[in-house]
Chains A and B, each alone.
Chain A
């Protein structure tokens, strides 16, 4: 494929346009090859879909991740193929935008590409396919909006949020405790202000204890910070304390970084020493005068200050992590101060109970019963680090989903029901149009079925059988059939809406639009030019590791590939 450099060598001097070693390929084979590459990525994440989806264990250097989250897995795979990277991007964007449905989006994009493969092979122009897909996408999104179930009344709302969280948790390792965690997640999101900034939900991970020992703190909890001598003499429990939040170093130190003092007489020496002590004592006295009982600072609180507070029966902690301090400000109503001047009551926060407690192997500081708190902390427990990590990812997904559901008050049924419905709808629609578009939209409709199909496959059901049943249900029963999907838990087809497998419509809309966009991007590429430098680096790396020199080889990738095959 290094055509530009080698062509017409005999007659004319070759015109070198690209640097030597540049690899480019174009045309139909290129599209097909891109599609195949994407396919191999899809194969990896395919089995994670649904409540019976499995986890992947991925090694990188020394660390190991066990996950069920599509976005996490795809990111860890370290994909270098340029076209396949598109899939990484959509999984990421789905993760950032909605937080859940990352496996679905990759799966669907892969299937769209798969469907288009046959069209391309038959000679259809990619742009026709792209046009068809775009049209089908718009129709589908309209249809989702049309048939989604809007929830207006307030009392049912909480229940719906919980159901959405549970649907998201279904496929995760903590699925058994979805009742428990969905309640926690909904409660956490309810505490937030209307902008639903997720950073105000802190998640702390402590090994030891069962996951059911996890709990939600309506306030803040953080690990005991580094402390100086004297700390243990401070009281560890306060009721309704005044809390002073500082961004200030409380330590005996030089006040100005680069100041230098020149002394002429030894008598002045003591004065300077005294002056320094006065400075710090003044600061401490001002804090005492404000009536604060719990003093927290982002910067260190030195041993002098620690002992000073201990003598006066106050609690202090320095080096509090920034996000914890921000959360504290939100939940206690205090304002983070950079000076001790003007510590009035309205900048001091308060909470119901402050306490230091043992949690697993660590001491934790708890600020609980905050009135009007706008932030909260979830303390996750579990048997192994990997377990807690995965639980955190799962909760994160659930939190995102609930946030989305709060914003957009419409839900659709999961379990592949909405995909089946869209598929049916599109099939009906395509009869009204003529031309190639009909075929393409048919392909789109077929691609949609990959979701219920994979769900069924993963749970050990006969996917062909299930799909046939679902298709029949959806065409025959317009009223009830619309929400029929794969009930994985009980191994049958059922009305997923009635089974309470609900998702915010936004998740599905985003899945369809993001996947379509990605598929269209890959289809519209007909030429890839690879920068030779990065190729060479790779080749060199490979050469070093395998003990052979690769330099000077015109087609390094080819060489690597052959050896790779030989090794099999």
Chain B
């Protein structure tokens, strides 16, 4: 940082470690910030759309991630520059709120910044640019509200939801079995959705990935998969019409929580103690047996004694089941969680059609499958795939698809995908721009140009001549007045996205535009960066 000097030529140390701080201000700061943010955005550009490419990321400890998901890429890149970090957060926010469109939002923000830089070069005040962008964003959002179409979502009508999920999966590595994946996503969300309150709690959908098999083996289970095996190898491996008992106390003699000591004074007493302990075990198993349960799931461990007894009484049991699974199991089977043996009653048991232990391939990996549960309020998706990298990516893809379906349930308005909406907004904003007085006009027009960047990138990634293609579909939109005309990225022969079934939720699009505009404003508003000098 610059130093001030007094009469004697001595510098003022006004700020701690002043000489080791770096300060950039004014236009220079703007340019540096924009450049950093644009670099990040440019990285993402090639990941956009169904023909977008994946990125391979190697973590410091050598883990490899191959992904197409914008939020994941940015997150794992460990971006250091603070303004660029804003874009990472932007992508994360989109991920948190909508779950999809994480690449699009960053590309849009990058395009806006690129336009802003041009305007800055013309000497326009940065805040005027930001104001113009905000004005333009309003126009674009209004346009989205205009062109959105409401679709009817009934519990039995899967087709439409599936289409949306397929759009979300289109750009991912799993696109070869997108039909299956989309189906699974729709089923899973509908199973846990509360359609009346339009609320979907993702905690109730468990996703498990097991390496081995192929992606096509990925399956949807109306129940729970436990990454455990039965407590005794000789227990039954399969239980039909299971009556499930869920316990949160160990199969052990009870212990008081208060600090205690037991003084044994004689051998007889000791005998008595041993006998009592034995009685506890038989008593416990009897209680379980009496309730009619034929499967025991326990949050804690068993004594060997108890394990043996359970096996003898033909009671298959699983121990050390995690708290989260216990909860999901209770929800799926309709069981009540039992805190101690005294409280076991037949009403507290849950029901499951089939419980079996299965192992995968030749590995010793065993899981317990609990399916055909009486209540389907908690479900599981089992992902299979050739390698860990594929499984991880499939998990991310499914997450995106789940989010898309959820958003449809939350808000059933859709707009065209494939850059159609951006194009429609761009045309609308461009028209409005001419009516605006003052310097903002330039900024509004720049916003329209930035919006075109999305279809442009899509066309480019799909192998078309971008400018030519864009002008073609722009003309089509203008002459037909159809806001659903976009980039035919999959070469299906029609540019009408509605016909192709490439749709996105209107809320997601609105969110993208607003978030990008707000973050761009934040970046434009910074004119002074104070940083430690060693910071690069």
Residues on A close to B: CB < 8 A?
29, 32-33, 36-37, 39-41, 44, 47, 51-52, 54-59, 64, 66, 68, 77-81, 84, 173, 176, 207-212, 228-233, 237, 252-256, 258-267, 269-270, 272-273, 275-277, 303-304, 307-308, 310-311, 355, 357-358, 360-361, 363, 381-387, 390, 459-460, 542, 545, 557-558, 560-561, 563-565, 567-568
Contact B258 A78 (CB under 8 A): no
Contact B86 A37 (CB under 8 A): no
CA distance A49 to B253 in the complex (A): 71
Q: Which 5 A-B pairs have the closest CB atoms?
A: A208-B97, A564-B19, A210-B514, A54-B527, A384-B89
Contact B323 A208 (CB under 8 A): no
CA distance A41 to B12 in the complex (A): 11
A-B contact pairs, 7 of them (CB 8 A): A29-B7, A40-B4, A40-B12, A47-B527, A58-B530, A81-B13, A560-B19
B528 contact from A40, A54, A84, A383, Cβ within 8 A = A54
- Residues of B173-213 whose CB lies within 8 A of A: 197, 199-201, 203-204
Contact B90 A564 (CB under 8 A): no
CA distance A254 to B255 in the complex (A): 11
Contact B13 A303 (CB under 8 A): no
Taking CB atoms, residues of chain A closer than 8 Å to B95 are 208, 361
A40-B4, A80-B16, A254-B256 given. 12 additional CB < 8 A pairs? A37-B12, A57-B531, A77-B530, A79-B14, A232-B204, A232-B330, A233-B327, A263-B262, A263-B263, A303-B337, A355-B197, A542-B17
Knowing A80-B13, A231-B327, A558-B10 are in contact, say whether A55-B260 is a contact too (CB < 8 A): no
Taking CB atoms, residues of chain A closer than 8 Å to B299 are 229
B7 contact from A32, A81, A254, A561, Cβ within 8 A = A32
Shortest CB–CB separation between residue B330 and chain A, in angstroms?
Answer: 6
Contact B89 A207 (CB under 8 A): yes
Taking CB atoms, residues of chain B closer than 8 Å to A263 are 260-263
A66 contact from B92, B253, B272, B526, Cβ within 8 A = B526
Contact A387 B522 (CB under 8 A): yes
Taking CB atoms, residues of chain A closer than 8 Å to B260 are 260-263, 272
Contact A59 B530 (CB under 8 A): yes
Contact A259 B525 (CB under 8 A): no
Shortest CB–CB separation between residue B109 and chain A, in angstroms?
Answer: 9
Taking CB atoms, residues of chain A closer than 8 Å to B149 are none
- Counting chain B residues whose Cβ lies within 8 A of the other chain, the interface size class is 35 or more
Cβ of B291 < 8 Å from any Cβ of A? no
Contact B514 A561 (CB under 8 A): no
Contact B10 A261 (CB under 8 A): no
CA distance A8 to B258 in the complex (A): 78
A228 contact from B15, B89, B323, Cβ within 8 A = B323
Knowing A39-B4, A263-B260, A564-B11 are in contact, say whether A55-B89 is a contact too (CB < 8 A): no
Contact B201 A276 (CB under 8 A): no
A232 contact from B16, B29, B253, B327, Cβ within 8 A = B327
Contact B15 A567 (CB under 8 A): no
Taking CB atoms, residues of chain A closer than 8 Å to B256 are 254, 261, 269, 272-273, 275-276
Contact A36 B528 (CB under 8 A): no
Knowing A210-B515, A311-B336 are in contact, say whether A564-B262 is a contact too (CB < 8 A): no
Shortest CB–CB separation between residue B33 and chain A, in angstroms?
Answer: 8
Knowing A33-B7, A59-B82, A263-B261 are in contact, say whether A47-B200 is a contact too (CB < 8 A): no
Taking CB atoms, residues of chain A closer than 8 Å to B529 are 56-59
Which residue on B lies nearest to A305, using beta carbons?
B339
Taking CB atoms, residues of chain B closer than 8 Å to A270 are 254
Shortest CB–CB separation between residue A24 and chain B, in angstroms?
Answer: 13
Contact B92 A260 (CB under 8 A): no
Cβ of B519 < 8 Å from any Cβ of A? yes
Taking CB atoms, residues of chain A closer than 8 Å to B324 are 229
Q: Which of B12, B90, B521 has the most CB of A within 10 A?
A: B12
Contact B323 A80 (CB under 8 A): no
Contact A210 B510 (CB under 8 A): yes
Which residue on B lies nearest to A568, using beta carbons?
B3
Which residue on B lies nearest to A561, using beta carbons?
B11
Contact B323 A81 (CB under 8 A): no
Task: Please report whether the interface of chain A is mostly helix, strand, loop or mixed according to DSSP.
Answer: mixed
Cβ of B434 < 8 Å from any Cβ of A? no
B532 contact from A59, A273, A542, A564, Cβ within 8 A = A59
**Stretch of B124-132, B354-362, B380-388 that contacts chain A:** B124-132
Contact B331 A78 (CB under 8 A): no
Taking CB atoms, residues of chain B closer than 8 Å to A259 are 258-259
Taking CB atoms, residues of chain A closer than 8 Å to B532 are 59
CA distance A57 to B86 in the complex (A): 12
Knowing A55-B527, A270-B254 are in contact, say whether A78-B15 is a contact too (CB < 8 A): yes
Cβ of B98 < 8 Å from any Cβ of A? yes
Contact B93 A55 (CB under 8 A): no
Contact B258 A265 (CB under 8 A): no
- Residues of B506-536 whose CB lies within 8 A of A: 510-511, 514-516, 518-519, 521-522, 525-532, 535
Contact A229 B7 (CB under 8 A): no
CA distance A358 to B15 in the complex (A): 44
Contact B12 A36 (CB under 8 A): yes
A79 contact from B15, B25, B83, Cβ within 8 A = B15
Knowing A229-B326, A259-B258, A273-B254 are in contact, say whether A264-B263 is a contact too (CB < 8 A): yes
Taking CB atoms, residues of chain A closer than 8 Å to B327 are 229-233
Contact A384 B86 (CB under 8 A): yes
Taking CB atoms, residues of chain A closer than 8 Å to B337 are 229-230, 303, 307, 310
Contact A64 B82 (CB under 8 A): yes
Cβ of B94 < 8 Å from any Cβ of A? yes
Interface string of B281-317 (1 = CB under 8 A from A): 0000000000000000001000000000000000000
Taking CB atoms, residues of chain B closer than 8 Å to A542 are 17
B526 contact from A54, A81, A228, A560, Cβ within 8 A = A54
- Residues of B1-43 whose CB lies within 8 A of A: 3-4, 6-8, 10-20, 25, 29, 33
A361 contact from B96, B255, B328, Cβ within 8 A = B96
Contact A32 B6 (CB under 8 A): yes
Knowing A266-B276, A387-B522 are in contact, say whether A254-B259 is a contact too (CB < 8 A): yes
Q: Which of B33, B86, B93 has the most CB of A within 10 A?
A: B93
Taking CB atoms, residues of chain B closer than 8 Å to A363 are 201, 203
Q: Which of B125, B127, B201 has the most CB of A within 10 A?
A: B127
CA distance A40 to B5 in the complex (A): 10
Taking CB atoms, residues of chain A closer than 8 Å to B468 are none
Contact A56 B530 (CB under 8 A): yes
Taking CB atoms, residues of chain B closer than 8 Å to A59 are 82, 529-532, 535
Contact B527 A255 (CB under 8 A): no
Contact B272 A266 (CB under 8 A): yes
Contact B85 A387 (CB under 8 A): no
Cβ of B122 < 8 Å from any Cβ of A? no
Contact B248 A229 (CB under 8 A): yes
Taking CB atoms, residues of chain B closer than 8 Å to A211 are 514, 518
Contact A252 B89 (CB under 8 A): no
Taking CB atoms, residues of chain A closer than 8 Å to B436 are none
Which residue on B lies nearest to A232, using beta carbons?
B327
Cβ of B79 < 8 Å from any Cβ of A? no
Shortest CB–CB separation between residue B89 and chain A, in angstroms?
Answer: 4
B3 contact from A232, A273, A307, A564, Cβ within 8 A = A564
Contact A255 B258 (CB under 8 A): yes
Q: Which of B200, B262, B269, B326 has the most CB of A within 10 A?
A: B262
